[in-house]
Structure 1
C-alpha cells in the first residue's frame, strides 16, 4: 500500500478521535469536512482521468483534483490579502525550486541514497514555513508545490517537445503531495508554536515588570505623594545599580 494512503488513514483516525481538531479549526475546516475529504482523497488516488494520448497525460483525482479543490476552498476563506499573496508566492517558489533541484541533480530511481519522494516534501514544507508561516498557507504550499512541479513537467513535454509522460498527481507524486502537506503543517505547528510561546513568555515578563512598576507607583503616591515616589524610584535605581556592579 502506498505510503500516502497509509498516512491519510492514520490522519483519519486522529481526526475521528478529535486529536487534530484545533489544527483543523485554524485551517477553517470542520472535523466532518476533513474526514470526508480524506476519504475521497484515498478513493480518488485509484482514479486517473486520461487527458491526452500523445503525449500520455493523466490527471489523478485524489492527488490533483481534490487537493486543488481543498486548497482553493481554504484560500477563499482567508480574509487577509497579505496571506493570500504569500501563499501564492510560496507555491510558485516551491514548484520552481523542486523543478530546479530535480533538473540540477538528475535523480534516477535506484541510484540515490534516499527516496526523492521524501526530499521534495521537505523542500516544499521549508519554503512554505519561511514564506507563508501559517497553517493554511503551509498546507496549500505543501500540497500544491509539487503539483506546480508536475505542471512545469507537463509544459516541457507538451510545449517543449521533450519526450515523456505526465501523471499529474498520480504515482509517486501522490505520496509526495500528501507528505508535503503534512510536513508543512507540522513545521508550522512545531516551530511556529515554539516561537509564539517564547515570544509570549518574553512579553509576559515585560508585562509583569510593568504591572509591578505601576503598582509601586500607585502605592507610593497614596502613602507619600509625588515627592515620596521620586525618592522611592531613586532608591530602586540605586539598588539596580548595585546589583549590576555585583
Structure 2
C-alpha cells in the first residue's frame, strides 16, 4: 500500500513478566503470608468459597506464576505517522526536505493465563456449582452478584487509563476495595448471601470487563506491540482482589 510501511510483529512471544521482579517477589511474599491462616482456618475458608483451603491457595499461586503466560488471540493494526528528511542537492547547496509517511503498527491482543483465564474459570466454577449448592434463592443471589459486578465494572472503567507503550492500566488498590465495599453493601439485602463469592466474582470479572474489554477499541492507538487482557496494567488489581476475597 502506497505511503505505508509494514512493521513486523511476532505473535510467538507468549511468556514475559508483566510486573517488576521486586513487585513479583512482594506479591509472592503476601501470598505466602496467607498460608498459615488458610491452613488454620480451613473450615471457614471452605465455607467461604466452597473449595478446600489448599486448592484455593494453589489457585492463588497458579494465578501469580501464570501471569507470565500470554495467549495471542488476535492482531490489530493502526497507522502511525513517521517523519523523515530527504536530502536535495541544488547548485552545491544541500537542502533537507521533510517527508511524512505512515507505518502500520501491529498490536497483538493476548489473554493472560493468571490474570484472566484462571480467575474466569474460578468465577464460573463458583457461579455454576457453589452458588446453586449454598444459596436458597438463586435469583436473589445471582442478582446481587450481577449488581456488584456492574458497580465494580463502572468504578474500574472510570479510573482505567490507556498508557502508551503499555496498554490499559488500573491502580492496583481500586478493584479489591471496590469489590469488597460492593459485596459488604449488597450481601445482606433481603436475605444474606455469601459475601466472599460476591467479592471474588464481581472483582475479577468486573475488572476484566471495566478495564480491558471496554477499552479494546483504544489499544491499537497505544503503540504497544502486545496488549494482554488481565496482564500488564491490570493483573495486580485482579490478583489482589482474589487475595482480599479469601
**Structure 1 runs not aligned, ≥5 long:** 109-114, 187-246
- Distance, in Å, in 1 between the alignment partners of 2:202 and 2:179 is 7
Identify if the C-alpha distance between structure 1 residues 162 and 90 changes in structure 2 by more than 3 Å, giving closer, same or farther.
farther
- Distance, in Å, in 2 between the alignment partners of 1:120 and 1:36 is 22
Mapped pair 1:122 → 2:172: no
Between the two structures, name the one with larger relative contact order (CA 8 Å, sep ≥ 6): 2
Question: Which structure: larger Rg?
Answer: 1
Give, in angstroms, the shift of residue 13 of structure 1. Answer: 4.6
1:213 is matched with none
Give, in angstroms, the shift of residue 20 of structure 1. Answer: 4.8
- Distance, in Å, in 2 between the alignment partners of 1:116 and 1:39 is 22
Q: Note the alpha carbon deviations across 1:55-76, whole angstroms, 9 max, x for none.
A: 4311110111000101111111
**Structure 2 runs not aligned, ≥5 long:** 1-21, 77-106, 165-169, 189-194
Equivalent pairs, count: 173
- Distance, in Å, in 2 between the alignment partners of 1:9 and 1:96 is 32
CA contact (8 A) 1:128 1:138 kept: yes
1:153 is matched with 215
- What is the DSSP-based 3-state SS (H/G/I as helix, E as strand, rest coil) of the residue aligned with 1:43? helix
CA contact (8 A) 1:95 1:148 kept: yes
1:208 is matched with none
Mapped pair 1:93 → 2:151: yes
- What is the DSSP-based 3-state SS (H/G/I as helix, E as strand, rest coil) of the residue aligned with 1:116? coil
CA contact (8 A) 2:112 2:230 kept: yes
More helix by share: 1
- Distance, in Å, in 2 between the alignment partners of 1:131 and 1:35 is 26
- Distance, in Å, in 2 between the alignment partners of 1:89 and 1:65 is 22
Identify if the C-alpha distance between structure 1 residues 48 and 107 changes in structure 2 by more than 3 Å, giving closer, same or farther.
closer
Which is worse superposed, 115-124 or 87-96?
115-124
What's the RMSD between the two structures over aligned residues? 2.8
TM-score under structure 2 length normalisation: 0.60
